[in-house]
Structure 1
Amino acid sequence: MSLPLVTLQISLAPSDFRHARYLLPHQISTWRGQVDEILLTIDLHRSAGRFAIDWEVGRDRILELAHSIADARIVTVDYEESAEQKVAETFLGGKTPVPRKDFRGGPYYAYLFGLSEARHDHVLHLDSDLLFGGHSPHWMKEALADQAADERVLISAPLPGPPAPDGALHSQVTSPVPNRPNTHDFDFMSTRLFMLSKTRFRDTIRALEPRRPPVWRDSIKAMVEGNPAEDLPEHLFTSAMRKHGLVRREFLGTGKGMWHLHPPYRCRDFYDKLPDLIARCKSGDIPYDQRGDHDINDSLVDWTEARTALAHNRWWRRLAKRL
C-alpha cells in the first residue's frame, strides 16, 4: 500500500527574515526527502504589536529568500473573498469573515490559509523559527503509519526537545504512550509544528468555532494594540480535540529519530549563535540541561537581554505611556 502524499508548508512573514535566512535552508534540508510538495506561504498583512517588528526591512528580503529555495511553491497569503471562502469552508463550517489575526497580532487566517492551499491531504506545518535534530529519514513514514493505525491521533509531530536519558519531557506535562519510548500524547494543540490530515479533521472535528479570548485582559490587550479580539487558533483546535477525544502525538521514532527545538525569545546572543545552534542540532552536541526541554534554554543561549526587554515592553506599559 502506497503512503499518502505530504505537503511541507512553512509560514513566513517579513519580520521572520533575521532568523529565517539561517533556519529556512535548515528546515528544507531536514524535510525535503520526506515530502512531496514544498509550500512557502508569505503573510504580507501587517499586524500591530511584537509581530510587526522589522516589517518594512524584511519584506523584500523574505521574498528573495523564499524564491531561493529550489522547487518550492511560493504563495502570498490571499485575503480576497474567494480565498477566504475556501478557508472558511475547510475549517470554519463556511462562516465568514475569517479573523485575520489573533488578539496578540499573531497569525490566524494565515495558518488556515496555508493548510487550505496545500495540494495534498496530509500537511506538515512548520513555523519559521524551529530547529531540528536527529534527522531520521523515516520519521514521516512512521508518523503516517501511526495515524493510520490509531484514529485518535489528529496531530503528529517530532519529539519536543532532544531526548532526555530518562525518556521524560521535563518542560511539559504529557501522557507517555505505554511500551513506546519517547512517545507522548497531548490533549492540546500547538500551531508551531504539526502534521495532520485535512480529511481526518473534516471527518472528526468538522469545523472550528471562533471565539473571544476567555481572559478579559486579552481582549483589552487586543483593543490597546489594535488587533481583533480573537482567541488563538490552537486554543480552538484544543477545545475541539478534547470534545472529540483526539490527541496530538509527538514522538522520536526509530534510530536517532527526529526532535525539535523552539526559541522562546529573540536577542543578540540568539542571532549570533544561530549558525552554531543549527550545527549542534545536526551533530547532536546538546548539553544535558537542554535534554527533555522543548524550548531553547540558558544552557544554549543567554536569554537575559530578551527577558529584560520583555519585562519593559508589556502591553500595559505601552498603554500607560499613551495615557
Structure 2
Amino acid sequence: MNATSVPKVSFTVNVCNSDAPYLEQTLRHMLRQLNFPFFERIATYDPGRQVGKYAERIQGSQSEVERILQTLLAEGVIDRVDVIPWTEEEQNRILLKYFGDGSIGLKDFSGAPIYQYLYAMDACSGDYLFHVDSDMLFYRQGERSWLFDGLELLQRESRVIVATPQGGPPQARNWLERLTGFSFEPKPTTDWHHASFTSTRYFLMDAARFRACLPLQQAKPGEPLENSLSHTFTRKGYQRWSMNGYTHWAIHPWRHDENYVRYLDDLIWAVENGIYPFRRTGFKWDMRTEGEHINEWLAVLRKHGRTLD
C-alpha cells in the first residue's frame, strides 16, 4: 500500500470537559505518532457535565476545551469539531439506526457514553474509521504507521472488522522476569492474533462491515457500548485482531490524577521513545500513576536523563 492508494480513513476522537488537563498535549501526540494521512480528523465534543464514575475526574471548563479545540483547528492538527446535539430527535435517530431501539440508554450503567460514541462514528464519511479515546498514548518504531498494516489486514481478511496495535509495552509477567528484569516471552510467529473483546479505547474499523452488523445487540441492559460491539461482532461472525510484537503499542492512563497531569509531557516523551518500567503495577496496557505508582515511571525517566521538578 502506497500513498496514492491509501483508502479514506476517518480519525474520530470524543472530547468532554474533564479532558481539558491533558487534551491538547495528547491530541498533538497521537496524531504525530499515528503518522497517517487521514481523510478527515474530527473531534466530537460533548460540553455537558460528566456523570457516574466520570464525575470524579478533574473537571475542566467548557471555555478551556473550546480554546484548545480552536487552537488545534487553527493549526491544522484537526479538521473539524462537531458538538454533540442533545435533541430528542437526534438521539432517537442514532439509537434507532444503530440499535433499532430508541429506548436504549444514552449512557451505560456507569455513565460511560453510548450515544456520544455512536454519534461521532456516524459523522465519519471514510471507508474506514479510526476511533480513539482522548487520553490514549501510542508508541511507533520507525516511520511507518501501524494503520497501513491494519488496513492491509482488513482488506485481506474478510471476517476481521476491527484491528488494533499491541496493548502496552513488555512487562514482567512472573517472579523470574521481575528478578532478572528480562523478558523471556517467545518471539511471535505471526503478525496478528484474534482477540475476543473490542474495547472502545481505540480501534481501526471497516465501516461497511460495521454497517452489515447493524442493529447492534446488547447482551445485558445498560452494558457498555464495547460489550455490545463485542457481542454483536461475535454473533455476526466478525473478529477483532490485534498486533503481535512491540513495534507498535498503545497505553492508557489508569487515572487522570494530579501525578499524571503534572508529568504528562515527560510521560508522553517516554512513550514516544519506547521507554517504560519493565517491572510495573497493573495490566500491561495501563499506565499507573496514582500514589506511589508514579515512581515506577519517574525512575526510568530519570535513568534516561529527564530532569523532573
TM-score (norm 1): 0.75
The amino acid across from 2:217 in the alignment is E
Cα distance in 1 for partners of 2:273, 2:159 equals 34
Aligned residue for 1:209? 217
Aligned residue for 1:17? 20
Aligned residue for 2:252? 262
Q: 1:137 to 1:82 in 2, by over 3 A?
A: farther
Aligned residue for 2:181? none
Deviation by residue 1:21-57 (Cα, 9 ceiling, x = unmatched): 3212111222353312100000123342232346874
Cα distance in 2 for partners of 1:305, 1:137 equals 32
Alignment of 1:1-323 (within 5 A): 2-31=5-34, 33-53=36-56, 57-69=60-72, 70=76, 71-93=78-100, 95-134=101-140, 136-163=143-170, 179-181=189-191, 183-203=192-212, 205-210=213-218, 212-213=220-221, 230-251=222-243, 257-289=247-279, 293-297=284-288, 301-304=289-292
Q: 1:132 to 1:81 in 2, by over 3 A?
A: same
How far apart are 1:154 and its partner, in Å?
A: 1.2
Cα distance in 1 for partners of 2:211, 2:8 equals 18
How far apart are 1:185 and its partner, in Å?
A: 1.8
Contact 2:190 2:244 in 1 (8 A): no
Q: 1:152 to 1:303 in 2, by over 3 A?
A: farther
How far apart are 1:101 and its partner, in Å?
A: 1.2
Cα distance in 2 for partners of 1:55, 1:113 equals 25
Q: 1:150 to 1:165 in 2, by over 3 A?
A: farther
Contact 2:159 2:237 in 1 (8 A): yes
Contact 2:21 2:60 in 1 (8 A): no
Deviation by residue 1:56-80 (Cα, 9 ceiling, x = unmatched): 7421111111121124200001233
Contact 2:255 2:290 in 1 (8 A): no
Query: How many pairs does the alignment contain?
Result: 274
The amino acid across from 2:85 in the alignment is D
How far apart are 1:237 and its partner, in Å?
A: 1.0
Contact 1:32 1:38 in 2 (8 A): no
Q: Which moved more, 1:279-288 or 1:35-44?
A: 279-288
Consecutive unaligned residues of structure 2, counting only runs of 5 or more, are 178-185, 295-309
Q: 1:82 to 1:144 in 2, by over 3 A?
A: farther
Consecutive unaligned residues of structure 1, counting only runs of 5 or more, are 171-175, 214-229, 307-323
Cα distance in 1 for partners of 2:71, 2:190 equals 40
SS of residue paired to 2:200: coil
Q: Which moved more, 1:286-295 or 1:184-193?
A: 286-295
The amino acid across from 1:113 in the alignment is Y
The amino acid across from 2:126 in the alignment is H
Contact 1:267 1:303 in 2 (8 A): no
How far apart are 1:97 and its partner, in Å?
A: 4.2
The amino acid across from 1:234 in the alignment is E
TM-score (norm 2): 0.78
